[in-house]
Structure 1
Amino acid sequence: MVVGEDGERLAASLADRLDAVTFTDLTTDQVTARLIDAVVDWAEERGWRVYRRASSVLPLPPPMSAQQSVLDVACARPDGPPVVVEVDHGTRRRTWEKLLAEADAGRVPLWVRWGAGRFTAPPAPILMVTCEVSGRPDPTGRGRVHSRSPRADKLPPAHSAVRVATVDAVELPLPPPGSPGA
């Protein structure tokens, strides 16, 4: 499947929605759940039918190949092909395989990848929506916790409003010390 402008528009819209998501000191599982909730809200706002943990077209690997893999979110929409979304903290080959199989079945594949950066781009036609978070050791000693600040908190600091006095231009090169005119 060629995703095209529709997929690009959907990925940009979802990225805008995720930009508003903030949290403090959540575990990896809690961040993933929070982002899945945001994806569900985004899809429901558009009037789509939304399915959590929907069956994928890709079967599980052996010995459980009689069962299907599941998608974090699948959306049926009246104005276009279905949209499928996977939310991951890491880069997993299995996620790519699943989303590629969904694309081959005519669905728009979106991959929400969250973390501290250094995101590996997926193969086409999978569209990646990134969500940068910061992480630190959990103060209780149970792994790591993650936080995400509002975008306004990430703006560069304002520069000083104090005016600098006018400085006369200096002709270069400067004369050596001790020479006349120095």
Structure 2
Amino acid sequence: MDGGQDGERLAASLGRSLARLTFADLTTDAVTARIIDAVVAWGHEQGWRVYRRAPSVLPLPPPLSDRRSVLDVGCARADGPPVVIEVDHTDRRRTWDKLAAEAGAGRIAIWVRWGPGRFGAPPPPIHLVTCQVDRRPGPAGAGRLHHRAPGGHRPPPPHSAAPAGGAALPLPLPTADAETP
């Protein structure tokens, strides 16, 4: 299996795993941490060695260019190249650059994006996994709170069905001269 097909397969597997994730009333940082925990658990389920804050091949920008950037999760596996995963709720160019550098070094790069939607596709060979999360205003000074319910977004329930034959049903409406009890 080539790296592209392997990356697509792994991204789909991670996406299925994250689809089971639920939480309520978490801050932005707490959601990112919860998703990273789920990614780490997924890596362990695959039988891989999993590292949080794994060193990246990409150096930090100046004046810290003598140091390396870090990845949210790195996975070492015996049956293929390493898998690196970044988790973000924003569309950061630095993340694209970091994952592109990792892919260029032979790793499978996966970007987990979470939020209310409208996820832009990263350039190949970065594989995108999305995690739909709803948000609402939190208490004053607390920022937004995020939640993810089982089953994801469900459509509103249907309205009552029209009566058979399409006949209008009379509704009992009070009249002005009707007595009120």
TM-score by length of 2: 0.86
Map of 1:21-170 to 2, 5 A cutoff?
A: 21-151=21-151, 154-157=153-156, 159=158, 164-166=163-165
- Write the deviation string for residues 100-127 of structure 1: whole angstroms up to 9, x where unpaired: 0000000000000001111111111001
- Write the deviation string for residues 106-154 of structure 1: whole angstroms up to 9, x where unpaired: 0000000001111111111001100011111112431111001111x63
C-alpha change, 1:126 and 1:62, in structure 2 (3 Å) is: same
Instruction: Give % identity.
Output: 64
Q: Which amino acid aligns with 1:122?
A: P
Q: Which is further off, 140-149 or 41-50?
A: 140-149
Return the offset for 1:3.
3.5
CA distance in 1, matches of 2:101, 2:76: 17
CA distance in 1, matches of 2:85, 2:10: 11
**Number of paired residues?**
166
2:176 corresponding residue in structure 1: none
SS of 2:69's partner is: strand
SS of 1:80's partner is: coil
TM-score by length of 1: 0.85
CA distance in 1, matches of 2:121, 2:164: 49
Return the offset for 1:155.
3.2
Q: Any stretches of 5+ residues in structure 1 without a counterpart?
A: 169-182
| Alignment RMSD | 1.8
SS of 1:154's partner is: coil
